[in-house]
Amino acid sequence: MVIGSLPKPDMSVRLRWIAAPVGVLLLVATALRIPMPSLPAYLYFTAVAVLLAVIDIELRRLPNLIVLPSYAVVAALLAGSSLWRGEYWPLARAGLGGVLLIVFFLVLATAQPAGIGLGDVKLAGLIGIALGYLSWTALLVGAFAGILLGGIAALVLAARGRGRDVSLPYGPFLIAGALLGVLL
């Protein structure tokens, strides 16, 4: 394997057929909800989010090769939107949102290392940037919706007697919460 390359996921056909239409629907919904100057940032974020959710479901990891460059892409696109609109507070709020979610999820990961991995922490920072740019409300709704969705899934697995035996990827729940924050 070449250094820096991702292993090719052996995704099931069913997962690919689900991810493609969901991704298209989310892209369309995002395009209808987001103002034009910041639309490229959110279309990119949505596409990367769907890709990361599929990878996390299949491989139980969130590759740095995708997450880390996405910080720069989303930040640059949002900076361009701020410049175009002449409004800089949303960009500052995005930076604060990213830092707040990284710190919050790092504390959670430190307190419960078996529950949240460092990939989830890095993803939370990206989510914080995207949601923070929109508003504090979007940040709170998106972050806590992701936590709530993941918690509900864990409770359902525990109630079915499978909670301790099953590894639950947390990234898809964080992403679902973030996309709810963007769309609401």
Which tens digit of pLDDT belongs to each residue from 127-159?
Answer: 999 999 999 999 999 999 999 999 898 888 878
Q: What is the pTM of this model?
A: 0.85
What whole-number distance in Å separates Cα of residue 113 and Cα of residue 91? 31
Per-residue pLDDT of the chain (184 residues; tens, 9 = 90+): 344 555 555 556 656 666 677 777 777 777 777 778 888 899 899 889 988 998 998 889 999 999 999 999 999 999 999 999 999 999 999 999 999 999 999 999 999 877 789 999 999 999 999 999 999 999 999 999 999 999 898 888 878 776 565 678 999 999 999 989 988 8
Least Cα distance to 183 among 63, 68, 79, 27 occurs for: 27
pLDDT tens, position by position, 76-93: 999 999 999 999 999 999
| Closest listed residue to residue 133, CA positions, set 66, 60, 57, 79 | 79
What tokens were used for 32? 């209808």
Tokens matching residue 118 = 């460092």
Q: To 5 degrees, how large is the angle CA 114–CA 173–CA 109?
A: 30
For residue 116, the 8-state DSSP code is S
Closest Cα partner for 91 from 76, 107, 106, 79?
79
Q: Please count the residues of the chain.
A: 184
Asked if 168 and 153 touch (Cβ cutoff 8 Å), the reply is yes
